[in-house]
Amino acid sequence: MKVFGGIQQLGIGVADAPAAFEWYARHLGFDVPLFDDEGTAALMLPYTGGEARDRRAILALNLRGGSGLEIWQYRGREPLPPAGPPLLGDLGILAARLRAPDLEGARSALTGAGSIASDPGGARHFEIRDPWGNALEIVEGAAAFSAKGTATAGVSGALVGVSDIGASLPFWSGVLGYDLAVYDRSGTFDDLRAFPGGEERYRRVLLARSAPPKGPFSPLVGTSEIELVQALDRRPRRLFEGRFWGDLGFIHLCFDVGGMDEWRRDCAAAGRPFTVDSAAGGASFDMGKAAGRFAYVEDPDGTLVELVETHRIPIAAKFGLSIDLRRRDPEKPLPRAMIRLLGLARRRFPRADEVEPVRSS
């Protein structure tokens, strides 16, 4: 059965995974490490120079709701930054979207954040950058899971640069099901001016799904949006041109799915075949205390999208408790009380009070 459960996580390549996890935990509430695993990325050879590379990966959750962050670090290799500061409309993942139920309160808590502005659909938001220059868009909206917690919830979407929105829509709308256009506008936009290149002309399409997410984690991750941005005044460059997956910056957008063989068939039929498949035939790939099957597919500009069919997750790892999801209805959500048990793994850090703002070009 083919199931779409929403965004599971957004991958971010860093040089120091523990430091990045601590920053995101202290400032933005990603303080539950679902797994912290060291191993070798042996299956990603098309994107790692043809060599298996050692890595450390931490999947960090924010239990207010929304999707997680996979904080990913090479071991034994210095990760490379982009050739220059990413410009709006460059090809790849440009920013993560996070929801904040109280936007003014979130902006106050994140001292140094940018000014509040409205997008073409009227949604208010502001931007910040993490200490490593990654852009984060904080959007006003209800948290998916809990009314209490930190000023911001988890990941609720992404800003993706594309070369041709018309060519990209069959993938993002057709394959992934983001079939609702919240807005489709072209021109210059005041709310983008904080981004490098933000004064130029762009076409912007904000996509949502008409079908609600299903599956075990749907109460936690909730709904999501993808904004496609196309530069109209210049030829964009690929953010990972000349670099490996896992180098610095946003490396992939990951969706929680069920029925991976059906996804494989449908992606191939749409002309976007799997480029990596961890276990054709349904076998499980071990990630320490978690396990599942993962695959990668590229959008028309080469941006990496990961699909993950989760088989086993730790629910209360400190007590050795886990759940095998293959024994459950793939569309049925986990009980909310069970999801709350993930909080037993929460890491506590002293609260910091300053975040670097997004810098204009």
Per-residue pLDDT tens over the stretch 167-200: 999 999 999 999 999 999 999 999 999 899 999 9
Q: What is the pLDDT of residue 315?
A: 74
Q: How far apart are CA 344 and CA 47, in angstroms?
A: 35
The CA-to-CA distance between both ends of the chain, in Å, stands at: 47
**CA-based nearest residue to 92, from 128, 134, 143:** 134
Q: How far apart are CA 119 and CA 94, in angstroms?
A: 16
Contacts of 34 (CB under 8 A, 6+ apart): 59, 60, 61, 68, 290, 313, 314, 342, 345
309 and 257 Cβ atoms separated by less than 8 Å: yes
**CA-based nearest residue to 175, from 226, 216, 218, 219:** 226
Tell me the pLDDT band of 285, cut-offs 50, 70 and 90.
Answer: low
Residue 312 has pLDDT above 90, yes or no: no
Q: What is the pLDDT of residue 292?
A: 83
Burial state string for 293-332 with b = 16 or more CB within 10 A and e = fewer than 16: bbbbbbbbbebbbbbbbbbbbbbebeeeeebebeeeebee
Range with lowest mean pLDDT among 8-12, 128-132, 282-286, 346-350: 282-286
Q: Which two tokens stand for residue 127?
A: 């931007």
Q: What domains sit in the chain, N to C, each tagged with a CATH number?
A: 3-345 (3.10.180.10)
Q: What is the pLDDT of residues 60-77, one digit of tens each?
A: 999 999 999 999 999 999
Q: What does the pLDDT average to over 102-120?
A: 92
Q: What is the pLDDT of residue 357?
A: 44
Phi first, then psi: give them for residue 70, nearest 5 degrees.
-95, 105
Higher pLDDT, 300 or 320: 300
Q: What is the pLDDT of residues 251-274, one digit of tens each?
A: 999 999 999 999 999 999 999 999
Q: What is the pLDDT of residue 356?
A: 46
Contacts of 122 (CB under 8 A, 6+ apart): none
Beta strands in 42-189 (DSSP E): 53-61, 68-74, 92-100, 117-118, 124-129, 135-140, 155-161, 180-187
- The average confidence (pLDDT) of the chain is 91
Q: How far apart are CA 29 and CA 48, in angstroms?
A: 31
Phi first, then psi: give them for residue 337, nearest 5 degrees.
-65, -35
Please state the pTM of the whole predicted model: 0.93
Q: What does the pLDDT average to over 21-41?
A: 94
Q: What is the pLDDT of residues 45-63, one digit of tens each?
A: 999 999 999 999 999 999 9
Tell me the pLDDT band of 318, cut-offs 50, 70 and 90.
Answer: low
Burial class (CB in 10 A: 0-12, 13-18, 19+), 131: exposed
